[in-house]
Amino acid sequence: MNQPDPLAPWRSNPFFMLEVGTEASRAEVERAGQKLLGLLALGSAGAGHCSTPLGPATRDADSVRRAMAALRDPNERLIYELWANLAPGAGAAGGENPASAWRTADQALGWAG
């Protein structure tokens, strides 16, 4: 029995679905969406998949339309922008210990002298 994917809501972020950055204008979002809808209608193999910082995701015409609609609403767009700014490989860079970033966190926040 397959378990549901717990990361699916994050992978379906409209910015990831449309493969546009958070700085994209409304016109760029619409252009990207229309291009993807055209490619999906033609049956392009690459249009059915996209890469996200959380792994690959699949998309269809319905998911592209939902993504375009979500980014038209300024309030929804803001929320998705926050989640889309996840950095790929946001953990330890270069194999360093992830806890090393916390060693000076209290000083950086002004909590210690």
CATH code for position 21 = 1.10.287
Cα–Cα distance measured from residue 6 to residue 16, given in angstroms and rounded to the nearest whole number: 17
Residue 108 lies in a domain: no
Residue 85 has what pLDDT?
A: 81
Residue 66 lies in a domain: yes
Cα–Cα distance measured from residue 46 to residue 10, given in angstroms and rounded to the nearest whole number: 20
Residue 98 has what pLDDT?
A: 54
Q: Which domain holds residue 47?
A: 8-89
Segment 90-106 shows an average pLDDT of 57
Residue 61 has what pLDDT?
A: 95
pTM over 0.75: no
Terminal-residue alpha carbon distance, the chain: 54
Domain count, the chain: 1
Residue 41 lies in a domain: yes
For 39-71, what is each residue's pLDDT tens digit?
999 998 889 999 888 888 899 999 999 999 999
Residue 27 half-sphere exposure toward CB, CA atoms < 13 A: 0
Cα–Cα distance measured from residue 14 to residue 33, given in angstroms and rounded to the nearest whole number: 10
Residue 101 lies in a domain: no
